[in-house]
Structure 1
Amino acid sequence: MSEERNKQPRHFSMIRSFHLADWITLANALCGTGALFSVMTYLQRQAPVHLLIACSLIPLALLFDVLDGQVARWRHAQSALGRELDSLADVISFGVAPAAIAYGAGMQGMWDRVVLGYFVACGVSRLARYNVTAEQLKGESGKVKYYEGTPIPTSLLLVFVLAAAAWSGAVGDALWFGYVHIGPWRLHPLVLMFAVSGSLMISRTLRIPKP
């Protein structure tokens, strides 16, 4: 019994170390996860409302993403753990979830999957690079002054396009701009916006001031 009692505090030590900002970051991740579940439900039932719910959860994730940073600064509780949590949550909500929404909306050709996979890979790479170079990019103020490449939450713009398509019924075979065959595989031209977004995220020449 005494041995189990000694193990219990260590078992819960990670959760106890979470700050308020970390819990808000987890809310961001849960929004992205909820969007994935809604896309799966849409694919099962073909009810457009589920695709719209998935799209609506991404702006909510962005709200939590902004809020966690403000709370961390307000409470002076910024940490390496919080930064890693934020990156992982962003990968789910602004990388994987938008790609899944696009797939659910009808971008299911093999070329579409290649592009969507590229988009997610760019998002992961962009966040990893930021975490590694954040210390180098800090100025005298101790804050990162600019982003190299567009931040991954800019994928919200892609989600707005998908939401508009879902709202107007332009999903599946009715997806805007149709599709083309390139070799044996199918490509929906609309998916190219994900290729552009991913490429902008990993750009090293594009510098965006960080608020």
Structure 2
Amino acid sequence: MQTPDRRPRHFSMIREFHLADFFTLANAACGVLALFFSMQYLIGGRIEDFYLSAAMAPAAFAFDVLDGRIARWRNRHSSLGRELDSLADVISFGVAPAVLAFAAGMQGNGDMIALVYFVCCGVSRLARYNVTAESMSGDSGKVAYFEGTPIPTSVVLTGILAFAAWQGRIGDQLYGGQWQLGPLALHPLVLMFVLSGTLMISKTLRIPKL
């Protein structure tokens, strides 16, 4: 009868991580920090917290680029790494920009529907990518193109919100004011999130992967 292995396994999962995976976790950490800074801004109203939240997006983008480069450099690709990357991207480029938009003043019921749509599009786009990544890969194992815009393109949205904050155009001064469409209160600026989400789930838009 075989004796069960009773050796400690406290660090067994960490042993499975490759170098690139730690950069992916740094991406996720930036996304979580962005959420915290947005909440601090909502609580205290310090514009510095708003800027810090927005700044986490390009930081997360840098880590997102680096993890892919390192994985290719070391020729270490894994299903775990791909899932980690998607989960980190959902936080940093999906949930965090939506929460920053809410902090910027897009707080009407129509705004919230639009922001939920944006996040759901991002989640759907990443799930589709994970399922189809192998079939879209060439002999090199690298995906040749993206179907729909990649979710990290939402860094542009956070940049627009940071610029609006710098001009004092957030809160009641948000660009375009507010529309009242029957029972829905909606800021027209939130439509850029609707457009971004729609482009992410497009199957006709193909973007070469560099």
Same fold judged by TM-score > 0.5? Answer: yes
- Higher mean C-alpha displacement, 32-41 vs 11-20: 11-20
Please say if 1:58 is aligned against 2:36.
Answer: no
Q: Which residue is 2:130 aligned to?
A: 131
1:29 corresponding residue in structure 2: 28
Identical amino acids, percent of aligned pairs = 62
Question: Normalising by structure 1, what TM-score?
Answer: 0.95
Alignment of 1:60-139 (within 5 A): 60-139=59-138
User: Which residue of structure 2 aligns with residue 8 of structure 1?
Assistant: 8
Cα distance in 2 between the residues matched to 1:128 and 1:7 = 36
Structure-1 separation of matches of 2:133 and 2:144: 10
Once the 2 structures are TM-superposed, how far is the Cα of residue 6 of structure 1 from its aligned partner? 2.0
TM-score where L is the length of structure 2: 0.96
SS in structure 2 of the partner of residue 6 of structure 1:
coil
- Structure 2 counterpart SS, 1:8: coil
**1:150 & 1:131 partners in 2: Cα distance?**
15
Q: Which residue of 1 aligns with 2:207?
A: 208
Give the drift of 1:7: 5.0
Q: Which moved more, 1:57-66 or 1:74-83?
A: 74-83
- Corresponding residue of 1:49: 48
Structure 1 unaligned regions, length at least 5 = none
**Cα shift at 1:41:** 0.1
Return the letter of the residue paired with 1:8.
P
Q: For 2:100 and 2:7, how far apart are their aligned partners in 1?
A: 42
Q: Give the superposition deviation at 1:141.
A: 3.2
Mean alpha-carbon deviation: is it higher for 12-21 or for 38-47?
12-21
Question: Residue 143 of structure 1: CA displacement?
Answer: 1.9
For structure 2, the 5+ residue unaligned runs are none
What residue number does 1:157 align with?
156
1:16 deviates by: 1.4
- In the other structure, the counterpart of 2:172 is 173
- 1:142 aligned partner: 141
In the alignment, the residues of structure 1 paired with residue 59 and residue 163 of structure 2 have an alpha-carbon distance, to the nearest angstrom, of 17
> How far apart are the structure 1 equivalents of 2:21 and 2:123?
20
Alignment partners' CA distance in 2, 1:144 and 1:185? 41
